[in-house]
Structure 1
Amino acid sequence: MSTVSPQEARRGLLITASTFVLWGLVPVYWHLLKAVPSLQIIAHRIVWSTVLVVAWLLATSGLRWWRSIAAQPRALWMLAGSSVAIAFNWGLYIWSINAGHVIEASLGYFINPLLSVLLGVLVLKERLRRTQWVAVVCAAAGVLWLTIDAGAPPWIALGLAVSFGIYGLLRKVVAVDPVAGLGVESVYLFVPASLLAAWGEQGHGGAFLSGWNLCTDAMLIFGGVV
């Protein structure tokens, strides 16, 4: 049985805490872009994410990342499906933040681990210990209470949870490098996102480098990192 040193445990705790703090601040970032139509935000996020990720992969491994995945037709199909799932998830999340549904969006990512556990048990045939089942039931009870308290089905939360759950499942069953997989997903989405951004510039809410201020333009570009 492997053991974790105190130093590794502290490092893991720090990374986990930092991740959740940054994730909690993400809604603030997208809210600062509320003057930009949600479709344009998601289009720019995909475009700039593709540029950054592919540039990083080319700089660190040339075209090996692409060749390794292109040699696996099943992986290409799986990543095509996961790219659709994550694009839907990103779009719904950004729209929900800018439409004032922050709490329901947060509930979606609270539900997601439950769905991931369910998919793991049903699809991947994973087994849970008794204490893990107790934790799942307690979390499910919390979700049920929040749903009842809201007085209506949390459709946004369910959409986010299901899309991210499907994304996680597809990425789990395809054996590729995580960053290389993200690169392929980004390439799949790049053309549709570019066309959407170009459509926005033709009088449909887009004003990149021509109407929004410099700060907004910079935030859209940096959104590829966020």
Structure 2
Amino acid sequence: MSDERRGYLYGFTAYVIWGFFPIYFKLLQPSPPLEILAHRVIWSAAFVALLLTAMRNWSFLGRVLRTPRLLGGITAAAVLIGVNWATYIYGVNSSRVVETALGYFITPLVVVLLGVTVQRERLRIWQWLAVGIGGVAVAVLAVDYGRLPYIALVLAASFGSYSLIKKRMSLPPAEGMFVESAVLALPALGYLTWLNLAGGAEFGHVSAGHTALMLFAGVATAVPLLLFAAAANRVPLVGLGILQYVAPILQLACGVLIYHEPMPAARLAGFGLVWIALVIFTGDGIRSARAAARLRAGTETAQRTATA
């Protein structure tokens, strides 16, 4: 198997795991969302710490602690991913799986908007069209829900902002994930201590299976992230951009087919507009990538000719 095909396999596996996360987090009930989040943070930090120990790779911590700007960026990223995780768990366990899927469908469009507003990037006309259709879709869905789809918008905004910060940092996935989890671990431990003292903790009081699933949250969080990192090193950006739709498609299927969440005509129309926007966005990305590849090839050919 070629390295690129192996990368696609890694990426597809990561997105499939993320796509079935609604089933996993539903199984963690009756624990409330914040208890699930706290355990997810703590066991993620513990699992990645074991990986780093096995790889004897702790030297990065010195660089992080000696670089206030890097530490500040990681702290901001940790807060954003914590908000994202908490919102997702709340959405799944309040029977809004379809809305969480919408959040990850519109995330690419939000990332583009952040590029314009924060990075001062210039959009191509097709990108503007995709963003505009996405905005109309959110308006249609707001009318259908009777409110803004705030779970979807918080998921998209938090993950888009998280991606923007991560793009500016230069830590490999395992190291970055450990530091982010470590930043959140102290408040998570404080919350769990309070919850246990108040007698409201479900962990260890439901069943052996529930306890095992809560402990497994660290592995469930880290493994797809590491698979994605392995894919990102092998698969072209356009390929990753197409793969990213696997997870929300599966999440949507879970919401509609497994948990029987409603999908009235107006909501279906809103999702249809989102999908049209994503087709335009992805098609423009593919065209742009091919044009850039042709330009690079022409430049390389001209350089070889000039040096011949």
- Shorter-chain TM-score: which interval? 0.7 to 0.9
Partner residue of 1:223?
217
Q: Give the aligned residue type for 2:48.
A: V
Q: 1:135 to 1:117 in 2, by over 3 A?
A: same
CA shift, 1:107, in A, is: 1.1
Distance in 2 (CA, whole Å) between partners of 1:195 and 1:215 is 25
| Separation in 1, partners of 2:106, 2:215 | 30
Shift of 1:61: 3.2
Q: Any idea what SS the aligned residue of 1:35 has? A: coil
Residue from 16, 25, 28 that aligns with 1:30:
25
**Does the C-alpha gap of structure 1 residues 20 and 137 become closer, same or farther in structure 2, counting only changes over 3 Å?**
farther
Check 1:150–1:128 CA distance in 2 against 1; reply closer, same or farther (3 A cut): same
The CA distance in 2 between the partners of 1:212 and 1:65, in whole Å, is 39
Equivalent pairs counted in the alignment come to 220
152 and 131 in structure 1: CA distance in 2 versus 1, 3 angstrom threshold = same
- What does residue 147 of structure 2 align with? 152
1:114–1:140 CA contact under 8 A, matched in 2: no
**Structure 1 residues 204 and 172: CA distance shift in structure 2, 3 A:** farther
**Contact 2:39 2:215 survives alignment (8 Å):** yes
The separation in 1 between residues aligned to 2:92 and 2:174, in whole angstroms, is: 27
Equivalent position of 1:3 in the other structure: none
Give TM-score scaled by structure 1 length.
0.86
Q: Tell me which of 193, 196, 212 is aligned to 2:206.
A: 212
Query: What residue number does 2:12 align with?
Result: 17
Unpaired segments ≥5 residues, structure 2:
221-308
Distance 1:141 1:76, change over 3 A: same
CA RMSD of aligned residues (A): 2.2
Amino acid at match of 2:172: D
Give the 3-state SS of the residue equivalent to 2:119 in structure 1: coil
Q: 2:72 aligns with which of 64, 73, 77?
A: 77
Following superposition, which runs of at least 4 residues in structure 1 exceed 6 angstroms of deviation?
none
Q: Unaligned stretches of 5+ in structure 1?
A: 1-5
Per the TM alignment, residue 84 of structure 1 is displaced from its structure 2 partner at its CA by 0.9
Indicate the percent of aligned positions where both proteins have the same amino acid: 39
2:174 equivalent to 1:179? yes
The amino acid that maps onto 2:32 is P
